[in-house]
Structure 1
Amino acid sequence: MEALIAWSAERYPGLTENFATGLLDHLELLRGFPRLGAPLRRRPAIRRLLHTPFYVYYRLDEEKRRIEILRMWHVARKHRRRLTDNSFAHRVEDQLGDAMQIQLL
């Protein structure tokens, strides 16, 4: 997420602070409402939350009471269909070591 905010600050310096604040506020909602995002049809363990212009893909770990942010994907990017196939889900799961984690309330 830091890379996304840095990229945004470089290209849109006047808008980045509002975008970052809004994104963090949106992610904070997940602490109290972890099922806010819709589950992916083919991989219901992975959920998707829209924070325009990005989809935030995450997984709820109820045992550890946390949310793992897996990936952010710009809605205009091509090949969005690939996000719901099993190969994407496996790639995401392989990257969980780098996932951002949010503790549930």
Structure 2
Amino acid sequence: MGYQITLSSSARRDLRDIVRYISLDSPDRAVRFGRLLVSSTKQLTEFPEMGRMVPEFRDPSIREIVVRSYRVIYRVDYDTRRVDVARFWHGARGTPEIQQRS
């Protein structure tokens, strides 16, 4: 059985904002790109280590995959078999803040 994917409130807000921004130019393209981000994230259910470790955070459980210009930053919890998506972040925007594990 694969890992469960969860999105943080920041990740949900990021995804919504990305789709809204792209839709100003092309609503159809915005929907397609939103779906691409979500489908790319779903691959993590079977391959949670497919992304690289994020050097800025110096935590081996924080990883990322890149979808076009966007970083999907996530944390793998091996004990609970969960992948917690922290942010969808444009690569040109520098390093995002992510919530620390509680």
CA contact (8 A) 2:61 2:77 kept: no
Is there any run of 5+ residues in structure 1 with no aligned partner, and where? Answer: 98-105
Q: Does 1:43 align with 2:59?
A: yes
Q: With structure 1 as the length reference, what TM-score do the two structures score?
A: 0.68
Which residue of structure 2 lines up, in the alignment, with residue 34 of structure 1?
48
Larger fraction in helix: 1
Q: Does 1:61 align with 2:61?
A: no
Which residue of structure 1 lines up, in the alignment, with residue 19 of structure 2?
5
Is there any run of 5+ residues in structure 2 with no aligned partner, and where? Answer: 1-14
User: Displaced runs of 4+ in structure 1, greater than 6 A?
Assistant: none
Higher relative contact order (CA 8 A, sep 6+): 2
Q: With structure 2 as the length reference, what TM-score do the two structures score?
A: 0.70
Which residue of structure 2 lines up, in the alignment, with residue 16 of structure 1?
30
> How far did 1:37 drift?
0.7
Which residue of structure 1 lines up, in the alignment, with residue 86 of structure 2?
70
> How far did 1:28 drift?
1.0
Counterpart residue type for residue 27 of structure 2: P
